[in-house]
Amino acid sequence: MNSCLEAEHSPIFVNGPIIVGAGPSGLSVAACLSNRGVPSVILERTDCLASLWQKRTYDRLKLHLPKHFCELPLMKFPKNFPRYPSKQQFISYIESYAARFNIKPVFNQTVEKAGFDVVSCLWKVKTQDAVYTSKWLVVATGENAEPVVPDIPGLKNFTGPVVHTSAYKSGSEFANRKVLVVGCGNSGMEVCLDLCRYNALPHMVVRNPLHVLPRDFFGLSSFGIAMTLLKWFPLKLVDNFLLLLANSYLGNTDRLGLRRPKTGPIELKNATGKTPVLDVGAISLIQSGQIRVRHAVKELTKKGAKFVDGQEMEFESIILATGYKSNVPDWLKENSFFTKEGMPKTPFPNGWKGENGLYTVGFTKRGLLGTAFDAVKIAENITDQWMKSNGPLSASNICSSCIIHFHFNKS
């Protein structure tokens, strides 16, 4: 870190870890630490908790997995919540979670640069307003920090609206339009489903093989069935069973233009992080022709698209369901732990801890289950170190002055 940071701001020493990001990952670590009597400070670039959920998700979004697989550490969902809580229900759960553990992030603090200072042996984290220092830094910005906008030839030439799913709210904005949806993951499928509710005609671009499973089999969640079977049977056998059920329930998706990968859904998820699509109705609309499947886009034109199979069509709007990426390389000055894509080099379950007090949470490619796993590990590890320096201290006795100390250079 450059010494000019100290010249601009009086460093703020945090007597506990600095956590970057107030999403489910950052809140989980803070809650686990609080439960053990260890203070922390969360720096959040926006003005709210779980900003991805509050600001960058579509209205009809629900959890894709049953709620008991999505619980944050130390707090269950309310019993009256449905199996698949809605977006607003999940946000209310997050807000209740923060209130229960008295987590109060410092909002509107964009981390511009963070690095480890070998002289002081402290992490220095610079925002637009201050420099924070601590023995520990927890990177909790996650896999979904920034939208991915693909470099499609001719994208700038298209004269209609082009919207990433991070800005998409409802199909009502596209009523009765012919829409090209680029991307066929869970978001792409659900956006197509939502568009159909408003009499739009979505054409979904499918470039690569993908697994589609029913979200539920006869009232039981696909994910729950898989997790139960994996306790007793080999992974490949479970994959084969899931595919057998999927084919009997959905039919042969290859005929719909949705080719399945040769690797099974769980094995592929573990190896690459690529999540199977959990169908909530899109497949039936593809079968009926309300959702059209298209091959990869060769290039976009002023009024539409040319596809690799030679077809050319006009569209009124384009929606990019092309996912998100990590933004860690933009601000963390550390090259040994993260890849150039901003993901831990060490795979799950050992990617939560780096060197010199660096930790990471929310990068497991295993959703909220992976987040909960990492958060508990991180809290245990930091608590052991913190107690050696500070001694036992109950969370109820921690006041705000214990958390942050202003550090002034004697010079």
What is the mean predicted confidence (pLDDT) over 275-304? Answer: 95
Q: How far apart are CA 46 and CA 401, in angstroms?
A: 24
> What pLDDT does 267 receive?
94
Give alpha helix (H) positions in 259-342.
265-272, 282-288, 328-331
Residue 178 class from Cβ within 10 Å (0-12 exposed, 13-18 middle, 19+ buried)? middle
CA 390 to chain centre: 34
Taking residue 172's Cβ as centre, other Cβ atoms within 10 Å add up to: 12
What is the mean predicted confidence (pLDDT) over 245-257? Answer: 93
The answer to whether the beta carbons of residues 285 and 291 sit under 8 Å apart is yes
Chain mean pLDDT for the chain: 91
pLDDT band at 274 (very low <50, low <70, confident <90, very high): confident
Strand order in the sheet with 312-314: 297-300, 304-307, 312-314
Q: Which residue has the higher pLDDT, 25 or 397?
A: 25
CA 357 to chain centre: 23
DSSP H or E run through 250: helix 235-250
Residue 95 class from Cβ within 10 Å (0-12 exposed, 13-18 middle, 19+ buried)? middle
What is the mean predicted confidence (pLDDT) over 358-364? Answer: 95
Q: What is the pTM of this model?
A: 0.90
Average the pLDDT over each of 9-18, 133-142, 162-171 and give the range with the smallest value: 9-18
Is beta strand 212-214 parallel, antiparallel or unpaired with respect to 277-279? parallel
Q: Which residue has the higher pLDDT, 390 or 195?
A: 195
pLDDT band at 402 (very low <50, low <70, confident <90, very high): very low
Examine the pLDDT at 295 and tell me if it is beyond 70: yes
The answer to whether the beta carbons of residues 324 and 186 sit under 8 Å apart is no
Bridge partner residues of 114 (DSSP): 125, 332
Q: Which residue has the higher pLDDT, 397 or 268?
A: 268
Per this entry, what is the length of the chain?
411
Beta strands of 111-193 (E only): which ranges?
111-117, 122-127, 131-134, 137-139, 146-147, 162-164, 178-182
Cis ω before 349 (30° cut-off from 0): yes
pLDDT band at 13 (very low <50, low <70, confident <90, very high): very high
What does the block give as tokens for 369?
């289950």
DSSP H or E run through 60: none
Q: How far apart are CA 10 and CA 203, in angstroms?
A: 55
> What pLDDT does 391 receive?
67
What does the block give as tokens for 108?
């509107």
Domains of the chain: 10-143+325-384 (3.50.50.60), 147-318 (3.50.50.60)
Q: How far apart are CA 218 and CA 123, in angstroms?
A: 51
pLDDT band at 335 (very low <50, low <70, confident <90, very high): confident
